[in-house]
Amino acid sequence: MKTEFTFSSFALRNVKRKPLRTVILIIAIALLVSALVFSLSFVRRVSSSIRLASERLGADILVVPAGSRGFAEDVLLENKAKSFYMDKGIINKLKAIQGIDSLTYQTYLTTMQGKCCDVPETVVVAFNQDTDFIIKPWLTEKFGRKLQKGEALVGNESAFNIRVGLVEVDSVLFGNIFKMVGILDKTGTGLDNALFIDDGNLEDIMRKGKTDLKPGQVSIVFVRVKKGLDPYKIAGEIEDSFVEVDTMARKDIGKSIITTLRDINYIFIFTMSLICFLSGFLTWAIFSAIANERAREVGIMRAVGAKESHIISVFLLEVIIVGSIGSSIGILCGTSLSILLAKTFSIMKNLPLHFSIAERIIIACIGFLIGNAVCIAGALSPIQKIKKMEPLMAIKKE
Amino acid sequence: MAQIEVRELTKIYAVGDQNITAVDSVSLAIDKGEFVSVVGHSGSGKTTLLSIIGGIMKPTSGQVLFEGQDICTFDDDRLSEYRNEKIGFMFQFSSLLPMLTARENVMLPGLFRKTKGAGDPGTATELLNMVGIGDKCDTYPSQLSGGQQRRVAIARALMYDPRVILADEPTGDLDEETENDIMQLFRRLNREKQITFIFITHNRELAGMAQRTLRMTRGNLREA
């Protein structure tokens, strides 16, 4: 026996009265929220990856061969296999610049499966263990010694690719056999997909002739400036002094991508605004029709004692029920889309950062709130109109 | 002191460029427990007068004093409470909500009370029994006949022991037998519970059952 009914059950019954209309509204809100969650995930993932990468590099300035800024970003942010070189002599020249605290360098080699190596295409980073401050923080505690010749470390993501989760596995790199002896902690940068060797191995690698690296070349120099000094000023000084190099301050890493991303962001915002407007308009149209249809019922409710606030509550509950169902479906679709489509967008495919559950929940909450807000905004005007009608006028309205 | 006192009540409707005076300076006093009928031609202002007394319409000017308080000065919340607690309405048409069962329709005014929940289903069932449709408690309005719907509306009007019942042609469209049953019920409630009844009717016979009959003519009211 159905005896107890409340505002919520009352609203729920109203929602069920015209299923087709309710479903149309739910689909509209679901599409809105789905697009919103997808675009938020996209923008946030790309921008967070870039920010994280620059924050975690541990250097204030990057020095690269002139014209190679983009290549360096490709390697560091997306692990795109790129090689670029400059004369190693730059290291001594840089030491002469005032304000530099410490520096280290790396040399990047690109593997090609089947030609030189038996690992999938990736970047091999040769680094100097004596001066290094980039890789060291990510060495797991278990690996408490220096890398020896013929030994390599594996980036956190690459570990899966070459199945070294099983620890010591031998791989051929540039004609030399390397023993994979450890896995780096997750850095959240492109380095997670790389392999790491001591730069003492480079001589043997060049001897085999399976790389275009020449003796006395390095790819990148990482510079730390003395505390309190402006990295931009020192970067400018380096560029003025040495025409053969370009510099990037840490905060500028990924700047070109961020600029492109900002444009994409604007397009997203514009598209989302349009979708919000359309969804709001649809909600307004549907609730205007509902308000007209139910004018007499509202009049009757008012006649038996419903206050204006009661009428608002009933209608708002209906809006929130529809908005919540639509938003929840939208969140599911949007999240699934962002996971599935991430594999088809090259910019996202190589991004190291994956969302944590908390971040996904935040994006879902934003989607849920906006979905409901659009619904409420659209329905507000018809609700205001109907609650203001004199009960008798509402009752007489056919 | 009269339970209901109407002073110089006027209601003017603006219809296009024209102003139509539905109620014209009407004054009236009704005591507690009176059984009053209002007669008059269509468009004479009967429904408007009843609606203003019931607080579902604002007058253009004048006062409606209920137990000494002018309801025309009430804000929306207070006026709603007045309708909810003091008045029981019966309209000349079906006034049930289609998605609620007969019992839920009877309990509806309770949904808008300060107390949580929609009231006591047991009382609603008793009232439906009293109006003769106790077997239709869980039936939806679309499955009820016109007469049964009226009976549900009567039960709803009685649900929270109102002081006054305002009925606008409560037996219109009903067969003679049902009409008689309903009027007998009104009389009984009036006698037993001292509920004041003001009902509009076109039926002289029904009007004659009242202690007092008022006649509306072109917005003016006089004792018949």
Nearest chain B residue to A5, by CA? B118
Whether A305 and B156 lie within 8 Å, measured CB to CB: no
Nearest chain A residue to B77, by CA? A307
Q: Burial letters for A149-174: b for 16+ Cβ neighbours within 10 Å, e otherwise?
A: ebbbbbbbbbbeebebeeeebebebb
Window B:38-67, CB contacts with A under 8 Å: 47, 51, 54, 56-58
Nearest to B103 among A3, A309, A395 (CB): A3
Instruction: Check residue A8 and give its pLDDT.
Output: 87
User: Is any Cβ of chain B less than 8 angstroms from the Cβ of A398?
Assistant: no
**Dihedral sign of CA atoms B155, B157, B163, B169 in order:** negative
pLDDT average per 10 residues of sequence, chain A (398 residues): 70 89 92 90 75 70 88 74 85 89 90 74 87 75 76 78 55 83 72 84 84 88 89 90 88 68 79 88 90 89 92 92 95 88 64 72 93 91 87 78
Instruction: Check residue B125 and give its pLDDT.
Output: 92
CB pairs under 8 A between A and B: 89
Cβ(B71)–Cβ(B64) below 8 Å = yes
Reduced to 3 states, what is the DSSP secondary structure of residue B24? strand
pTM score, two decimals? 0.69
Tell me the mean pLDDT in the region B179-195: 87
Instruction: Check residue A331 and give its pLDDT.
Output: 95
Cβ(A232)–Cβ(A60) below 8 Å = no
Nearest to A392 among B56, B77, B111 (CB): B56
Which tens digit of pLDDT belongs to each residue from B165-184?
A: 999 988 877 778 878 888 88
Instruction: Check residue B1 and give its pLDDT.
Output: 78
Q: Which of A3, A6, A14, A317 to mutate to test the interface with B (most CBs of B within 10 A)?
A: A3
Whether A306 and B80 lie within 8 Å, measured CB to CB: yes
The C-alpha of B57 sits at a distance from chain A's nearest C-alpha, in angstroms, of 6
Window B:133-192, CB contacts with A under 8 Å: 137-138, 156
Which tens digit of pLDDT belongs to each residue from B93-119?
A: 778 999 999 999 999 998 888 765 556
Q: Which of A229, A239, A216, A195 is nearest to A69 (CA)?
A: A239
